[in-house]
Amino acid sequence: MRTGLILSLLFLSPVTALAAETIDPSRIVSAATGDWNKDGEDDLALLVRPAEGSDEDNGVYLYLAGKNGALELKSALPNKVWGQFDFAGQAPAIEATANGSLIITSHNDSIGRDRWEQKLTLAYRNFEFVVAGYTYSSYDTLDPDNTSHCDFNVLTGKGKANDKPVNTRGELVLLKDWTDDRGQSACGL
């Protein structure tokens, strides 16, 4: 069934697939299926690299199963997730969790001395995709004592940064409005 969802997306007409653009299947770098809106139907999330020669970041495309299981585009967010595929250790990914959330991971495990990983946990709330959680960790390859870690619930504003409590105002932030500095600022990074 999940493979069928991905394959059916590839054969949608350009108007149905993205309204403004057709996704070249070779640009899809990560995909996940799950029931984001808890209606009993499998939905689809895609992470799509930008067109060749573009200086944009990767896009996130989120689909919900509509009537008769047909996928309908709910959110098209080009230029949203950092990551490169020319170097090992910098490819982003999207995955489904058992509870119906999504996790988008971006990281740098290969270039420079500053290595980091960031995870955004997405949830479907009030008919929109929101950032429910933010996790960030980093380390310096030349200074093993120079590390940081933050994990907080964006909806409640509570979490931990470097083993100290994070207590900020909880909020409902739509994925389309999210910027990474928002999470880093709340973590004090």
CA dist 109 and 36 (Å) reads 30
Q: Per-10-residue mean pLDDT for the chain, 189 residues long?
A: 47 42 90 96 96 93 91 96 87 96 96 95 97 97 94 96 93 95 90
| CA dihedral sign, ordered 53, 58, 59, 65 | positive
102 found inside a domain: no
Q: What pLDDT is attached to residue 1?
A: 45
130 found inside a domain: yes
Q: pTM for this one?
A: 0.86
Domain that holds residue 58: 1-81
2 & 77 share domain: yes
Of 115, 125, 185, residue with least CA distance to 152 = 185
User: Is the separation of the CB atoms in 117 and 104 below 8 Å?
Assistant: no
141 & 68 share domain: no
Residue 28 sits at φ, ψ, to 5 deg, of -75, 120
- Number of domains present in the structure of the chain: 2
Within a 10 A sphere around the Cβ of 154, how many other Cβ atoms? 24
2 & 67 share domain: yes
139 & 69 share domain: no
